[in-house]
Amino acid sequence: MANYFQPEIECASLDEMRAIQNEKLVKQVKHVYENVEYYRNLMDEKGVKPEDIQSIDDLHKLPFLTKADLRDAYPYGLLGADLKDCVRIHSTSGTTGRRVVAFYTQNDIDMWDDCCARAITAAGGTNGDVCQVAYGYGLFTGGFGLNGGSQKVGCLTLPMSSGNTERQIQFMQDLHSTIICCTPSYAAYIGETVKEMGLKPEDLDLKAGIFGAEPWTEEMRRDIEKSLGIKAYDIYGLTESTGPGVAFECEEQTGMHINEDHFLAEIIDPETGEVLPEGSKGELVFTNLDKEGFPLLRYRTRDICILSRKKCSCGRTLIKMAKPMGRSDDMMIIRGVNVFPSQIETVLLKEGYTSNYLIEVDRVNNTDTLDVSVELAPDQFTDTMKDLAAKEKSLANAMKIMLGVNPKVHLVAPKTITRSEGKAVRVIDRRKLHD
């Protein structure tokens, strides 16, 4: 029997949910138009007034927001509440252009905590659990989001943040942590360190992990589950929106339920902006229905996925989004071929290598180059150059079959690639294709 944090919402009928969404959308559009000059100008340019929006059926009339808009409006241009009513900010971790700063009122934080509490409960969390939050805190949203959700559920919450991995494991043992929340790349590193410390998964009390903030594959999920002896759940979010908790996996693990009483989802054609029917693959767009501090209407996430209302065995009626299948803006085009980092990760894990890798793209003599450095596990490492060369050739061939383009593979010694305690840096593109 599934557990719910707010069953009246999570199991609401479609008519009930649409009534909630209609009421919130009409109110939010009116508020944004009257209080956010930047968005009012966008609406005026498109010839749309608040009275044109009577229900979610009118959503398509509104203009899109993009990350470029958010940067152009930095820092206060999209502020939707009086500054005196805002209690916190978070910021994206991007390194190019202006940063995006999102504002939160206390109501926003309470809503966010509820969303994360739904995710923790869906993963089996109760007030009898010990939840270790190993996401980064500070401007990064992960730590604060899962911390708040854990406390809402009533878990004993360990605000560990990321890093100091041996201490993390010591706390797991001493305080009998049952749930771990962090990025999947850091979870994989924790699993490596557990093994290096001479411990086995059964030496820990962990039962579940909630992982997000970066793309990860089903192969990586199974690897983490095996190394930590847990069931690994996906969670989705955007700093611009709230952070983790926009959507979450239940025990069925066939997609993530969107908290659609707060986030209205659409799928569009990334080229034309046309709204696509349910079940279509396209770009995910979100509208914040009740975010006060930083309300976003029709925000283009650039994540490519599919939405589905197929009945879920968990009993939740919240629409599901598939795990993002790449992004419309971080896809690499290499020698005319579309390449996603997740494809490379899939090959690595299928071939028995670690998920610690670095992709380097460059352009030499007007030709794109693709170099993939892959870290060997200690039991795979050999000083014999002949053996390494053979392994590199074999792995490069497997990648070529998957990608349709021939990479140069470099197998490197254990611990050579810098570990990330937040989002893993997977790609370095030196081609300078964009200003």
Task: Specify if 138 maps to a domain.
Answer: yes
Task: Specify if 435 maps to a domain.
Answer: no
Phi, psi of 51 (to 5 degrees): -65, -10
Task: Specify if 186 maps to a domain.
Answer: yes
Q: What is the pLDDT of residue 325?
A: 84
Q: Are strands 256-258 and 243-249 parallel, antiparallel or unpaired?
A: antiparallel
Both 363 and 308 in a single domain?
no
Say which CATH number the domain at 237 has.
Answer: 3.40.50.12780
pLDDT at 38 over 90: yes
Domain count, the chain: 2
Q: How confident is the model at residue 232 (pLDDT cuts 50, 70, 90)?
A: very high
Both 185 and 202 in a single domain?
yes
Q: What is the pLDDT of residue 433?
A: 64
Q: How many CB atoms lie within 10 A of CB 373?
A: 16
The residue behind tokens 């200690």 is 378
Q: Tell which phi-psi region holds residue 152, choosing left (phi > 0), alpha (psi between -120 and 50) or beta.
A: alpha
Say which CATH number the domain at 353 has.
Answer: 3.30.300.30
pLDDT at 98 over 60: yes
Task: Specify if 345 maps to a domain.
Answer: yes
Q: How many CB atoms lie within 10 A of CB 378?
A: 11
Task: Specify if 403 maps to a domain.
Answer: yes
Both 261 and 344 in a single domain?
no
Q: How confident is the model at residue 383 (pLDDT cuts 50, 70, 90)?
A: low
pLDDT at 1 over 80: no
Last residue of one domain, picked from the residues 328, 361, 388: 328
Tell me which residue of 182, 305, 209 sits closest to 254, measured CA to CA: 305
Domain hosting 102: range is 1-328
For the packed helices 218-228 and 184-196, what is the interaxial angle rounded to 10 degrees? 40
Q: What is the pLDDT of residue 247?
A: 98
Q: Which helix (H) or strand (E) holds 30?
A: helix 14-35
Both 108 and 220 in a single domain?
yes
- Helices then strands, counting H and E runs in the chain, come out as 11, 20
Q: What is the mean pLDDT of residues 301-330?
A: 92
Both 248 and 296 in a single domain?
yes
Both 305 and 337 in a single domain?
no
pLDDT at 85 over 90: yes
CA distance 318 to 309: 8
Q: What is the pLDDT of residue 94?
A: 40
Percent of the chain residues past pLDDT 70, beyond the cut: 96
Task: Specify if 201 maps to a domain.
Answer: yes
Both 211 and 351 in a single domain?
no
Q: How confident is the model at residue 96 (pLDDT cuts 50, 70, 90)?
A: very low
- Which residues, including other chains, have CB under 8 Å from residue 331's CB and lie 6 or more apart? 338, 339, 340
CA distance 393 to 172: 40
Both 82 and 160 in a single domain?
yes
Last residue of one domain, picked from the residues 283, 308, 328: 328
pLDDT at 401 over 60: yes
Q: What is the pLDDT of residue 367?
A: 81
Both 305 and 382 in a single domain?
no
Structure confidence by residue, pLDDT tens digits, 240-290: 999 999 999 999 999 999 999 999 999 999 999 999 999 999 999 999 999
Weakest-pLDDT range from 97-106, 115-124, 152-161, 273-282 = 97-106
CA distance 429 to 368: 10
Q: What is the mean pLDDT of residues 82-90?
A: 97
The residue behind tokens 């509208």 is 287
CA dihedral 122, 123, 127, 129 (to 10 degrees): 180
CA distance 404 to 337: 7
Q: What is the pLDDT of residue 32?
A: 98
The DSSP code for 202 is G
Q: What is the pLDDT of residue 421?
A: 65
Q: What is the mean pLDDT of residues 202-211?
A: 98
Q: What is the pLDDT of residue 263?
A: 98
Both 121 and 249 in a single domain?
yes
CA distance 119 to 228: 20
CA distance 58 to 281: 22
Tokens for 307?
Answer: 């939405």
CA distance 363 to 239: 32
Both 10 and 148 in a single domain?
yes
Q: What is the pLDDT of residue 326?
A: 73
Q: How confident is the prediction for the chain on average, in pLDDT? A: 93
Q: What is the pLDDT of residue 95?
A: 34
Last residue of one domain, picked from the residues 311, 328, 345: 328
Determine the Cα angle at 142 with ends 170 and 422, to 5°. 70
CA distance 65 to 60: 12
Q: What is the mean pLDDT of residues 327-343?
A: 80
Q: Note every long-range contact of 269-274, with CB atoms under 8 Å and residues 24 or more positions apart, other chains counting.
A: 270/302, 270/304, 270/328, 273/64
Task: Specify if 434 maps to a domain.
Answer: no
Both 149 and 228 in a single domain?
yes
Q: What is the mean pLDDT of residues 237-241?
A: 92
Task: Specify if 22 maps to a domain.
Answer: yes
